[in-house]
Structure 1
Amino acid sequence: MIANKNNTTNQFDIVIIGAGPIGMACAIEAQKANLSYVIIEKGALVNSLFNYPVFMTFFSTSQKLEIGGVPFVTINPKPNRNEAVEYYRRVAEKFSLKINLFETVNRVVKDADDVFEITTSKADYIASNVVVATGFYDVPLLMNVKGENLPKVTHYYKDPHLYAFQNVVVVGANNSGVDAALETYRKGANVTMIIRSGELGPNVKYWVRPDIQNRINEGAITAYFDSELMEIKENDVDIKTPEGIITIPNDFVIAMTGYQPDFAMLRKFGIDLPDSLCPVYNEETMETNVKGLYLAGVVCGGLDTHKLFIENSRVHAEMIVRDILG
């Protein structure tokens, strides 16, 4: 029996943490199996996608982003961020998914009866099983340089208009860094890229790579290769280059240095994390070392955030529900 939502404790077969595409896929599979569930999300629906750059285009085709058998129809083969956010909202409506938004999970523990007790910022829950589908986008990889905490520094680039006519430094040369550099440049920003290696990232989208290479070659965007940011100050930054340390004027720093799962949260839940920081789980069932506690989606990859995507982790939902039923 499921307790009334207004009661102190809500009881479910499955509590799903994270309302991204994979968390939603888990809920859809639970619904098909007549298992009671709730999704708890600390932000908005598909919060990570919501925080993607406004004009971002996916590498995957729309068909590979589909969940629940709901067609993802787009004008172009590769959908953009706005289309994806709308698609997943429609999926949530179609299945009437039970989702509690803007609610943070603070505690997940197993009691003496082998049942999970979940405490959030708004309520308490009891569940036979817990699925962690939190992705990796919430914790940025910091540069650990002086001045990184200044208000002009961001690890989440969203809209290029903010940077019009400003001196902008972009740190990183993978897809997010390249997109930020090109988009802010086209809004009139004076863009400088700081790239730790000697070349652009190997996974830069093939239709974008010629564009950024041409902008760098013609000098429209300045790029310092084999370089790193040394210090961020109010009006300028120091860059360590092969030729020595240089200082350039700066208004904003967009640090596209990557992200990682919330490892502290996983440890708090009792999930084993070896030195590789790849969580321990059964690849056939997605169950962790804690019986009844499952991982789904990109969070399974640990620091290797290029290993799993929506398209190749949708199947986790079916695997988890199959194991619970079994």
Structure 2
Amino acid sequence: MLDLLIIGGGPIGIACGLRAQKAGLSFVIVEKGCLVNSLYNYPATMTFFSTSEKLEIGGIPFVTINNKPTRAEALEYYRRVATSNHLPIHLFEEVTAVTRENDIYTVVTTKNTYQAKHIIISTGFYDIAVNLDIPGEDLPKVKHYYKDPHFFAMQKVAVVGSSNSAIDVALETYRKGADVTLIVRGEEISHRVKYWVRPDIINRIKEGSIKACLNSNLVAIREHEVDIETPEGIITIPNDFVMAMTGYKPNFDQLKKWGLLLSDDKFIPEYNPETMETNLPGLYLAGVVCGGLDTHLWFIENSRIHADMIIDNIVVKQLIK
């Protein structure tokens, strides 16, 4: 019998593990992919918006060469944190069922069955892409994840979106020789774009190096072309690849299956903001999963505190018992 089972081996799951270890709780972290799986799937050349100290967990210094850490530096940091503290992390082990009986949770995974008094869900949001829901979206040339720009050299690429991921894709593929068209639903590039990147994309658009369709929507995809709805009407352009950087979302079906209550509009889970406990006693949320569809609400830097809030509440409960 475990005091705690943590679902999700990302930065916040690891932070919860560090705090549980410090409190003397028996626990296991289960992760369906590799360690910090979401970060691993970020673009290879990605640089964080946050400074390294804001990405630190467990009070362990995150030392980087530059002020803004890269994906590679973050992977190294979180791996060293996990291994040097000997955290019990079970990787490539997906949770398939969570049930509760007599105040005890039974968690079934693809490899084991656990029983725990408490559960923390810190599963993030990067596993399920938000679809465009348009004809042709299922074609192999349509991609929701991006790794490296070289693949798109000398290709005609349509990039959908105006936030950080879309702008990074547009600029990086352009600089590797792609013919880039940026399709933006709004009237301008999002102000959420990293402050040192936004002037770059605006200038590339002004000089015509990257074509931009503002107030526009991609409405159809075919093997060699796409249709874009613009203020002037539908235009058709040649196309080799579509990078649909339309965002991602938590696995809401899984959360509902496990018994969590979600709001009707943005699928925000019900939880106590002072303890992070959900409608299910002893089951807590940590990290970006708390925001429902609003995945811009929680980040590593502002959800690290969830670990302290949750473990403090668990310890108090155990003292009362």
Normalised by the shorter chain, which TM-score bucket? over 0.9
Match for 1:240: what amino acid? E
Corresponding residue for residue 148 of structure 2? 159
Among 55, 62, 85, the residue aligned to 1:95: 85
Corresponding residue for residue 229 of structure 1? 218
Match for 2:233: what amino acid? G
**TM-fit CA distance, 1:53:** 0.8
Partners of 1:66 and 1:132 in 2: CA distance: 20
SS in structure 1 opposite 2:158?
Answer: strand
Among 283, 290, 299, the residue aligned to 1:293: 283
Matched, 1:323 2:313: yes
- Could you tell me the percent identity over the aligned residues? 62
TM-score (norm 1): 0.95
**TM-fit CA distance, 1:22:** 0.2
Partners of 2:192 and 2:22 in 1: CA distance: 37
**TM-fit CA distance, 1:263:** 0.8
Corresponding residue for residue 112 of structure 2? 123
* Structure 1 residue runs of 4 or more that deviate by more than 2 Å after TM superposition: none
Matched, 1:212 2:198: no
Corresponding residue for residue 298 of structure 2? 308
SS in structure 1 opposite 2:58?
Answer: coil
Spell out, residue by residue over 1:233-280, the C-alpha distance to the aligned partner (whole angstroms, 9 max, x if none). 111111111111111111111111111111111111111102131110
Corresponding residue for residue 55 of structure 1? 45
TM-score (norm 2): 0.97
Partners of 2:40 and 2:272 in 1: CA distance: 30
SS in structure 1 opposite 2:6?
Answer: strand
Match for 1:206: what amino acid? Y
Corresponding residue for residue 252 of structure 2? 263
Partners of 2:99 and 2:65 in 1: CA distance: 46
**TM-fit CA distance, 1:34:** 1.0
SS in structure 1 opposite 2:295?
Answer: coil
SS in structure 1 opposite 2:302?
Answer: helix
**TM-fit CA distance, 1:20:** 0.4
**Structure 1 residues 70-109: aligned runs within 5 Å:** 70-109=60-99
Which structure 1 residue ranges, 5 or more long, are not aligned? 1-10
SS in structure 1 opposite 2:76?
Answer: helix
Calculate the aligned-residue CA RMSD, in Å: 0.8
> Size of the alignment, in residue pairs?
315
Partners of 2:26 and 2:207 in 1: CA distance: 59
Partners of 1:39 and 1:18 in 2: CA distance: 7
Corresponding residue for residue 176 of structure 2? 187
